[in-house]
Structure 1
């Protein structure tokens, strides 16, 4: 399951949601996100951008 330091979600109405330090799973009906706040299922997804900082030895 991918990990992101920052995950941005652009919704169909052009609003944006940002999550920090999450694991996520893209699927046909949207995206499922696991964060410190709990589990989120979002179906209104136009685009996602995941960012991960690489460690110094990568």
Structure 2
């Protein structure tokens, strides 16, 4: 399951929902997101943008 420091969900009406420090799973009906606040299911998804910063070696 992928991890993202910042996950932005772009909805069909071009609004955006941003999540911090999450795990997520894309599926046919949308995206399931796990945060410290609990689990979220977003079904109105046009696009996602996930960023993860890694420590430099």
What does the per-residue CA deviation read over 1:20-57, in whole Å, with 9 as the maximum and x for residues that have no partner?
Answer: 00000000000000001100000000000000001122
Match of residue 19 from structure 2: 19
Alignment map for 1:1-58 (pairs within 5 Å): 1-57=1-57
Instruction: Provide the TM-score with structure 1 as the length reference.
Output: 0.95
TM-score, with structure 2 as normaliser: 0.97
Q: Distance in 2 between the 1:36 and 1:13 partners?
A: 27
Aligned residues: 57
Unaligned runs of 5+ residues in structure 1 are none
Aligned Cα RMSD in Å? 0.5
